[in-house]
Structure 1
Amino acid sequence: MVFQHECQGGGIAYTDESFFKVRLFDLVSALARSLDMVSQTLAGHHTNVGFLTSSIAGCYGLSDAEYRNIVLAAMLHDIGAVSLYPAVDSLLFEDDTIKHSIAGSVIISSSKKLQDIPKLVEHHHTPWEELRELDSYYQLSNIINLADFIDVNTRRDRPVQDQIPDLISLCKKHKGTMFNPDYIEALREAESKPHFYPNLRAAHAQTTLNISSQFDEDVLDADGVLDFTGLFATVIDFRSRFTATHSQGVAVTSCVLGRWLGFNEIQQVLFQIAGRLHDIGKLAVPAALLEKNGRLTSEEFAIIQRHATYTEHILSDIPGLEIIRDWACQHHERLDGTGYPHGLSGDDISLGSRILQVADVFTAITEDRPYRKGMDFAQATKVLRQLGDSQKLDPVVVEVLIERYDEINELRCKGQMQALEHFSNYSEVLYSKYGIVVKDVS
């Protein structure tokens, strides 16, 4: 049995992989907006730097491939800072420009579709006087450096048009040393265009970037999207030791449950994607709350609950991920209507969402956390059955999990171990090659 009604997106049933297509740019854009949610200081930063970079690149006359790569790199340029510094509260990242640039390069290198991006991110703070001795392609990263400098030094409480001309003049004082003089001239030309300032706002900048034809040919199938979501999972899980590897556990569990409940192979991949993305909204939750070892106050719990809404907002802007958005953002809904963010109940909750709910609870109670061991079979099945009997979780899905408990738990453990191994490899590369220490999540 195949639940085709569960997998509708844009009027198309995902029963054939050829129907599932998502633009790489839309995924990068969503990840950029996610990074901007980490703190008020970061609000709009990655999108703004992406727009400024595209403006400079457009006036400088780069090739389509160079334009594509430099803009994507700009939109992800500080991904390493968010991973290294969970409580980001400054765009200066403790003045540590080298470490977070290298970390970002290492993280992005894990994505097959972004293989031309890591070196641009690694050198986005390298001064021009050093870059011009390197390969000409690496020199493009100085465009990001210039765009980043402009946005970091633009005060959010004043009109940007009153500031950027002065900032460009300041950049000219560093031409030939910090910045490529030709890039400064390209920025000055871009700034003189009539639509520059109206578009230099996070929402408008996103729309402006979105219409660029250079991104239209980068379209991913389900497996390609799954590969890319590894970046989302990395940023989500490595930000808090309490959620480390959790996303992959939910991804594996929901995929196996989907298979036993009749979903086809491509739909099972969609479950893996939804599992990896279901907690993306936690980037907007203060790290101190995610790491709190103790009971949350009602106010703190209300803040954490908002992550489901943030997940929905982030995924809503990715055409092609409609069903994944619903499954992911509804993982805390409950059949009796007591869940969040929308208080859905009964038939308003799809089978796919019910599977994510069971997978999330199962993973949370069986995985080891730094402050407690995961539940064993008897403990876990007791909790799950109680939630099923009380109509919190779907009792049918619960029973399928319990019937296949050994298989699902083994695969869940294996998936989470692979995720932990990925983190360990990432940490080892940063330490052995660059002397950068990443916090332990074991």
Structure 2
Amino acid sequence: MNLWQRTKMAWKVIRNKATQVDENFSKWFRGGRSIFLSGNNSKLASNETIFAAVSRLSNSMATLPLKFFKEFSPVYTELSDLISNSPNNNMTSFDFIRILETHRNVHGNGYALKMYGRHYSVTSLVILDPTCVEPVVEQETGELWYEINGEKGRYYVHNLDMIHIKHIHTTQNGYKGISPIDVLRNTIDFDREVREFSLSQMEGGIHASFILKYAAHIGKEKKAEILENFKSFYKDNGGVLIQESGVEIDPITRNFIDTKVFEVEKITRTRVATVFNMPVSMLGETDGASYSSMEQMSLEFVTYTLLPIVRQYEQEFNRKLLTPQERQRGLYFKFNLSALLRGDTSTRGEFYFKMVRSGVFKPNEIRAWEELPPEVGGEKLYISGDLYPIDTPPSERKGVKASEQEVLGI
């Protein structure tokens, strides 16, 4: 569907709805308002575990290099510069991806509206408040639209004009992603209540520090006098007490923080990591971690956490920022996940060594990854001298000795 067709459809939707002011959109659209949008920001700001998970995911996505390719070779156009450097007048590419990913992990959905210039070219991508956008489906055509509640009215945008990054969704809630924070609502509430209870216990434990025991029964006035003398003596003598005859002073030993609080924190970290589909070690939990190297931990994070997210971004950009003709010409956007899988110096060096000897990588490609300038001759593929194609005649193998040639009948 091109721009003119989408414009006609939008006018049709608006015209049909203009004659039915008193009705809702149920006749024209399927789906209703989500109830999972309130209170998410406050929960994100008050729970450090969820904040850490969202920060880890959003920063990881924002730091991945994003380039525009044509058949494995980077190309540079106005569109590639828009995505890689400045999606709009107020943001860098880092900020754009990080905010979009934060919205996805907080509200379940992240939206960016395409803005057009001359000749139907995309000039910018503007991030929208996800609480003001609702995916709806037009009944007659089955086309997906986005209902935007702005300050000056209600607008409708076709799905090809909106970048939509989301969490999983079901047929019941249409095309709207489920908020992970709403899934964690019970975990957040339980964690908060345990913390508040522990703080109240700790405050009570601070005020009650000693038990005074007397051999005889004394009246209220005498108790008050003894207690005041006890407090004054303790204050004036730097915490030193003198135990008199007939009086016993027992200090109250308390664990100000119950060990079960730490168990609750472990449970919270595990549940948050499970919902956000990331290794619990990424949230500071080391118990049970069995990684032999940082490379293995990064591999799990990339494979099971980032790869599905990256694929969603790539398909959204390729489908909605490129025309079918451009895709047929071999143009596509791609994130570089290799930056997170480079390993340590020893592992990386051995990998490069094998790839160069096998004729897979060019030396200058490796130098570029290591941020070194290219060298003359490094633009060629090389192969080890002791490796030959299996059909190479023995006489052409430089490593075959004269005695071996006689045996082979050469």
Structure with bigger RCO (C-alpha 8 Å, 6+ apart): 1
Do the two structures share a fold, i.e. TM-score over 0.5?
Answer: no
TM-score (norm 2): 0.24
TM-score (norm 1): 0.22
